[in-house]
Structure 1
């Protein structure tokens, strides 16, 4: 079994077998964790909250999204940094990934049996900590285990797994909407598999015990969390652009069940059927765009062109439910916006790695960039909830999302280091 060299510097090339195994591992990891999360987050948890607290489920759901996003923000940054500093016979990243899968899986399952919003919220936060114990090291491995001329391709596998898993998770969740406990069990199992399978599928990570030791004093550990400043202009532009784009997407994605029921007026059964249709459409279009845009980006050496096209498609997708106000509008959102999101996702992580000021601190700096994901997941639903509370409708959610994604495109186009 092949191993990496004991250094934080990415190899210059991979064998064919290593390429296949890395691609498979990135796809399986993102497929599994997203299936597990979407079964719960997109369908079962919103439905369970509407049954537990019929008069306040919307506000509770917004609070839970904010709390879990904050837990994700902190844990992603902390674990990314600590994985940079980890010295073990199993490498820097693998121990965190395997342990995170178990923690995330168990706590996600518990959401189906805990009795009230408070305990559900605590377990949901623990699950997000476990999830980010996996995500932060996996993303960091893109910098220190994958050559720079293959990062677009591997980013495509990450995006394809995420998008396919999102669609599949929603389809599975919709099947369990009237019989929830088995759905929560399945979600927990699949989430645990994400971490455990990854460390077995990709080429075994070399022991990090031979890498230079890092100081373990509290002062040095705290100092290591400093955000990058020197030569970090493009890094922060990527951060803001990513935050705005994901903010716009999660404004709608996390509320699609409530949009179908409260804005469009569908019943529980009809909304579940529509989500299933949307998920199939999203699965097809996102896989096509994700698996083609990433390799093309590597071939032409460009990251910005897919981002511009993706932003335009997302804006059009957001406009569909706003203009049509029907299930068809939401299906078109999945088709057009999903194609755009797949295109963006296929170069997203490659772009993030390309703007790193120092690849020796990839785990920590990518953890900071991944805060953008957390901010998008946190701020998007909060703004959606606030708009609904103030206006009494989801109507203004869609133009707000359009403005956000256009601004995201502007910031990313200002990056100089990446073509």
Structure 2
């Protein structure tokens, strides 16, 4: 008995390797109640708290959305070309550990869906720009011109001198400027309000799709009466309604572009969108001019159909937008969005304010040439030709001469913008190698644009329409190329004036307002110039303000 107890008290040798199997994660798992400290236990308890899904950022707070709006207000070349210094986006997935293949709305589109997004946004750019270019460049000035005794088709007119014809042709300018100025201001406000409301829209069909469809359909509805209106007051009323409904179409499209594209594919998509903008502007002028030449009236019915297509086609082509019902139903206000549009103050923003003012002057010069382009061509460049044709036929000739001239300018501008977009990349590399600042290119582009304005003045001395049409085509190429280079390299200048790249969205939001202010200044300046000394003063004023914009361009 004693021997057995002694044998039990002897030390036992350790187990041989593999003799006892310990299951990983099961047998060796510690007792958490004993292993964890109270601080660790409280940290783990916080993980069990339900966290609401993060509210998506507003469209005004995203730099890529403001860059899209910048390309809408300027030359399509800025969307098609690769600028020397792209606008930095602090929320980009390339700056953190997020997947750059995932879009801002949380979706991860595959290869086929990316192609559908490319096709949808390109078609959207064409279809929404086409009717808007037709209305602004041809329809609106032609309708107001008709109200002051300048018919769109044949009709009896009295004989007059060239100067008397030009003075009579200046009568529609103040009313055209009034409609454009009021429309620009209403459009600016409508874009802000629609942007905020669409940001907080909660539907099974997403935030943007309902606004896009409603905006396109209502724009088509308000376009149809324009051709039958007989006074400026009615035209102004429907033009205000069109500004609101077009904002319902354009603002959600710009926001959707930034939300639905992953960072990996956005640059490629911007190029295709720029091509769509070019085609839309060209086809819009062609639609208006073709309707006048072939049918004697503006094709408002066809324009309304294009608005409907702009609302329906993109929604059908791109992948269905995810539901937005999960967005928190919170009270919102438009005040923060309007506050972001204010010009920043402080000594650190002196360069940005100078770039802002320079943009206003440049867009004022460009606005003078685009807002009054129909009147300049018909009542200044072609004034003597029309009088000779009236003398021969004793009646007002068809409007085909003005339509062809407008089409030549549009084709030339598209060619010039395409050339600017194509050579901007290589030109930027050359400037970098030669250490040429972007400011020099911007100033040179302004000077070239100002020089191009001299062409319509010289063309008024010719009577041969082939010479005039060829000259206006050259004017379109030179001005389109100069404005395209200006927009591309001015983006580099603006980016250098922003003190903190994390505030790019706020600064770009404010900078986009400069284009609207430039349009308002162009309308006011045009009225004063035309009523004082005629269209020659209008062209001189455009040259002066463009050169002032060049002189105010800050260093980058």
With the shorter chain as reference, the TM-score category is 0.7 to 0.9
With over 3 angstroms needed to count, the CA separation of the structure-2 counterparts of 1:34 and 1:320, relative to structure 1, is: same
Which of 522, 547, 554 pairs up with 1:380? 522
With over 3 angstroms needed to count, the CA separation of the structure-2 counterparts of 1:166 and 1:6, relative to structure 1, is: same
With over 3 angstroms needed to count, the CA separation of the structure-2 counterparts of 1:269 and 1:366, relative to structure 1, is: same
Superposition map of 1:85-100 within 5 A: 85-100=200-215
Superposition map of 1:256-271 within 5 A: 256-264=373-381, 265=383, 266-267=385-386, 268-271=399-402
Q: Which residue of 2 aligns with 1:398?
A: 539
Q: Which has the higher helix share?
A: 1
Which of 263, 275, 280 pairs up with 2:406? 275
Which of 303, 313, 317 pairs up with 1:187? 303
Aligned equivalents of 2:491 and 2:328: distance in 1? 27
Decide whether the 8 Å contact of 1:277 with 1:331 is kept in 2. yes
TM-score by length of 1: 0.79
Q: Which residue of 1 aligns with 2:420?
A: 289
Superposition map of 1:15-54 within 5 A: 17=112, 20-54=115-149
User: How many residues matched?
Assistant: 406
After the TM superposition, which of the residue ranges 259-268 and 320-329 deviates more from structure 2? 320-329
Write out per-residue CA displacement over residues 295-346 of structure 1, whole angstroms, 9 at most, x where no aligned residue. Answer: 9979x99987875564344233223223554535433220111123334556
Write out per-residue CA displacement over residues 109-141 of structure 1, whole angstroms, 9 at most, x where no aligned residue. Answer: 221123322212111111111112222233334
Q: Which residue of 2 aligns with 1:222?
A: 335
What is the Cα deviation at residue 230 of structure 1?
8.3
TM-score by length of 2: 0.62
Q: Which runs of 5+ in 2 are unaligned?
A: 1-53, 58-90, 95-99, 102-109, 150-167, 387-398, 463-467
Q: Is the aligned partner of 1:314 residue 2:449?
A: yes
What is the Cα deviation at residue 188 of structure 1?
1.7
What secondary structure is seen at the aligned counterpart in 2 of 1:112? helix
With over 3 angstroms needed to count, the CA separation of the structure-2 counterparts of 1:202 and 1:47, relative to structure 1, is: same
Which of 341, 349, 355 pairs up with 2:483? 341
Aligned equivalents of 2:194 and 2:216: distance in 1? 14
Write out per-residue CA displacement over residues 42-88 of structure 1, whole angstroms, 9 at most, x where no aligned residue. Answer: 22332232222326433221211122112212112222233333343
After the TM superposition, which of the residue ranges 92-101 and 139-148 deviates more from structure 2? 139-148
Decide whether the 8 Å contact of 2:192 with 2:337 is kept in 1. no
Q: Which runs of 5+ in 1 are unaligned?
A: none
With over 3 angstroms needed to count, the CA separation of the structure-2 counterparts of 1:230 and 1:381, relative to structure 1, is: closer
With over 3 angstroms needed to count, the CA separation of the structure-2 counterparts of 1:243 and 1:122, relative to structure 1, is: same
What is the Cα deviation at residue 212 of structure 1?
5.2
What is the Cα deviation at residue 100 of structure 1?
1.3
Aligned equivalents of 1:64 and 1:184: distance in 2? 18
What is the Cα deviation at residue 383 of structure 1?
1.5
Q: Is the aligned partner of 1:254 residue 2:371?
A: yes
Pair member with larger Rg: 2
Decide whether the 8 Å contact of 2:368 with 2:542 is kept in 1. yes
Aligned equivalents of 2:316 and 2:500: distance in 1? 31
Superposition map of 1:92-241 within 5 A: 92-146=207-261, 153-177=268-292, 179=295, 183-211=299-327, 214-216=330-332, 220-227=333-340, 229=344, 233=349, 239-241=356-358
Write out per-residue CA displacement over residues 152-184 of structure 1, whole angstroms, 9 at most, x where no aligned residue. Answer: 554444443333222222122112226355611
With over 3 angstroms needed to count, the CA separation of the structure-2 counterparts of 1:339 and 1:84, relative to structure 1, is: same
Aligned equivalents of 1:351 and 1:188: distance in 2? 39
Cα RMSD for the two superposed structures: 4.0
What is the Cα deviation at residue 248 of structure 1?
1.6
What is the Cα deviation at residue 33 of structure 1?
2.4
After the TM superposition, which of the residue ranges 108-117 and 314-323 deviates more from structure 2? 314-323
Aligned equivalents of 1:136 and 1:70: distance in 2? 15
After the TM superposition, which of the residue ranges 222-231 and 42-51 deviates more from structure 2? 222-231
With over 3 angstroms needed to count, the CA separation of the structure-2 counterparts of 1:164 and 1:243, relative to structure 1, is: farther
With over 3 angstroms needed to count, the CA separation of the structure-2 counterparts of 1:309 and 1:145, relative to structure 1, is: farther
What is the Cα deviation at residue 199 of structure 1?
3.1
Decide whether the 8 Å contact of 1:157 with 1:291 is kept in 2. no
Decide whether the 8 Å contact of 1:246 with 1:376 is kept in 2. yes
With over 3 angstroms needed to count, the CA separation of the structure-2 counterparts of 1:230 and 1:190, relative to structure 1, is: same
After the TM superposition, which of the residue ranges 247-256 and 9-18 deviates more from structure 2? 9-18
Superposition map of 1:53-92 within 5 A: 53-54=148-149, 56-92=171-207
With over 3 angstroms needed to count, the CA separation of the structure-2 counterparts of 1:276 and 1:221, relative to structure 1, is: closer
Aligned equivalents of 1:405 and 1:112: distance in 2? 34
What secondary structure is seen at the aligned counterpart in 1 of 2:324? coil
